[in-house]
C-alpha cells in the first residue's frame, strides 16, 4: 500500500509529459508538492469521451461515508486511497471506476514506512535524468457529492492508486504491496484500453529501473518540494 507520495513537477512539465493540451488543464495555480497524504488534493490525468487528455485536481481517496457506532450520526468519511489489483474486478466499490474511469497519477517519488516507533521512511523513484525523474502511477477516479467533514456538502473528484505485489527493491520495506508504476509506452493502454488490456498492465515495475532517493526517520517529505497536501 502507499499512504504518501510526492509530485514536484511543474504543471507545464506535466502537460508535456502526459500530452495534455493547455485548454484541458484545469489545475489553476498548482504548485509542486513534496508530500501528498490521503485526503490531500493532487493532480491526475484522465480522458474525455473523445479521447482528449485532461489535468485536474482530485481528492486522494474514494470517499466512504461512515456513521458513529455510538450515536448513529454521520462522522468524517473515510478516504480509501489504495485499490488492490485483486479487488478491482470483484468489488462493486471499484469495478465501475476500473472499467470506465481510469487515470494517471503524476508522481516523482512514493514512500513506504518500515518498522514503528520510530519508523524509517523510504522514498522510491525511477531511474532517469534529473534528481527526481517523473513517472505515473495507475489510478482510478470517480465524482463524489455529499457531506464531507462537519456536515459540509461538497462536490469533488476523487482518486485512488492501484497497488500490486512488490518487486525485489520495495519488498525489503513493504513485503505485501506497492503502487503500480506504468511504463510511458503503456499510458494510452491504461487510459483507453479495454478492462482486459488495462488489467494486463498491473504488475510490479522492474526493480532495476527504480532507485531509493532517501531513507531515514521522520522523513515525511521528499526533499526538493515546496509544500505538502494533507
Do residues 104 and 185 lie in contact, with contact meaning Cβ atoms separated by under 8 Å?
A: no
Q: Which of 8-12, 72-76, 191-195, 200-204 has the lowest mean pLDDT?
A: 72-76
Q: In terms of Cα–Cα distance, which of 178, 162, 169, 177 is closest to 211?
A: 169
The answer to whether residue 230 scores a pLDDT higher than 50 is: no
- The domains of the chain are located at 5-229
pLDDT tens digits, 3-44: 999 999 999 999 999 999 999 999 988 889 999 999 999 999
Q: Angle 177-130-212 (CA atoms, 0-180°, nearest 5)?
A: 30
**Mean pLDDT value across residues 96-103:** 98
Q: How confident is the model at residue 225 (pLDDT cuts 50, 70, 90)?
A: very low
pLDDT for position 229: 47
Reading phi first (left if > 0) and then psi (alpha if -120 to 50, else beta), residue 68 is in: beta
pLDDT for position 150: 64
- The more confident residue out of 17 and 2 is 17
CATH architecture of 5-229: Alpha-Beta Complex (3.90)
pLDDT tens digits, 125-177: 999 999 999 999 999 999 998 877 666 778 999 999 999 999 999 999 999 99
Amino acid at each position: 500500500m502507499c499512504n504518501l507520495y510526492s509530485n514536484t513537477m511543474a504543471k507545464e512539465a506535466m502537460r508535456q509529459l502526459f500530452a495534455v493540451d493547455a485548454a484541458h488543464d484545469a489545475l489553476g495555480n498548482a504548485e509542486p508538492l513534496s508530500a501528498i497524504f490521503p485526503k490531500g488534493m493532487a493532480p491526475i490525468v484522465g480522458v474525455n469521451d473523445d479521447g482528449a487528455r485532461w489535468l485536474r485536481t482530485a481528492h486522494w481517496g474514494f470517499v466512504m461515508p461512515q456513521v458513529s457506532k455510538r450515536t448513529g450520526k454521520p462522522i468524517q468519511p473515510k478516504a480509501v486511497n489504495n485499490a488492490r489489483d485483486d479487488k478491482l474486478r470483484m468489488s462493486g466499490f471499484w469495478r465501475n471506476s476500473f472499467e470506465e474511469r481510469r487515470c494517471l497519477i503524476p508522481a516523482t517519488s512514493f514512500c513506504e514506512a518500515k518498522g514503528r516507533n520510530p519508523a524509517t521512511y523510504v522514498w522510491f523513484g525511477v531511474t532517469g535524468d534529473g534528481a527526481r525523474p517523473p513517472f505515473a502511477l495507475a489510478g482510478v477516479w470517480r465524482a463524489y457529492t455529499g457531506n464531507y467533514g462537519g456536515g459540509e456538502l461538497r462536490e469533488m473528484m476523487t482518486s485512488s492508486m492501484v497497488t500490486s505485489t512488490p518487486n525485489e527493491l520495495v519488498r525489503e520495506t513493504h513485503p505485501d504491496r506497492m503502487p503500480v508504476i506504468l511504463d510511458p509506452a503503456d499510458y494510452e493502454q491504461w487510459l483507453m484500453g479495454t478492462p482486459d488490456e488495462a488489467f494486463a498492465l498491473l504488475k510490479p515495475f522492474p526493480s532495476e529501473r527504480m532507485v531509493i532517493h532517501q531513507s531515514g526517520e521522520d522523513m515525511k517529505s521528499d526533499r526538493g518540494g515546496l509544500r505538502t497536501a494533507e
